[in-house]
Amino acid sequence: MSEAGRVALSCAGLRKSYWQGKTEVPVLTGVDFALSAGERVAVMGASGTGESTLLHVLGGVDRPDAGEVNEQQVTVLRRDNGDVIGVRQIAGLVARRIVCFVQPGKHLRSGERFGLIRFGSRLDVYLPDGVEPMVTLGQTMVAGESIIADLAGQEPARTMRRD
């Protein structure tokens, strides 16, 4: 049950400068773009125009002075009954890598792992209309074990508790 369409890497407002003595030399000045999975791009420019700096910042080798680099992956799961579930993996600041095991058209079983995100990352799940989550705010989840929602509608939704 899988269809994949993904933004693999995006950045917004990237700025990076270096210093030569007391003189600031801006190299990246407000770079914005999104790269889709499978898309190929060439970063080209004359020597000293920032192409290597951009690749270093995007690859996590160097940090920007401002802006955000966001490696993310969106996977769309389509059930046999037509329901759609969206899963967005967003890489964290510490370990900025996402690994996807699934290819478009692959059929998945309930509980089957289809990707890996590292420490400090985030996972957003978008359920079909009318499906209530079975997890509570702040609950720790375990991949392949925790039940996020009952798509068959046989279990009652769990209520949120505030201590």
* DSSP state, residue 31: E
Report yes or no: 8 and 73 within 8 Å, Cβ to Cβ: yes
Choosing from 2, 36, 121, 146, which is the catalytic residue? 121
- Stretch (H or E) spanning 14: strand 7-20
Q: What residues does 36 pair with on adjacent strands?
A: 7
* 52 counts as catalytic: no
Written as one letter, the residue type at 104 is P
Q: How far apart are CA 16 and CA 70, in angstroms?
A: 16
Q: For residue 11, with 0-12 CB atoms within 10 Å meaning exposed, 13-18 middle and 19 or more buried, which class applies?
A: buried
Query: Rg of the chain over CA atoms, in angstroms?
Result: 20
Q: What angle do CA 133, 111, 103 make, to 5 degrees?
A: 110
- Residues carrying an active site annotation: 121
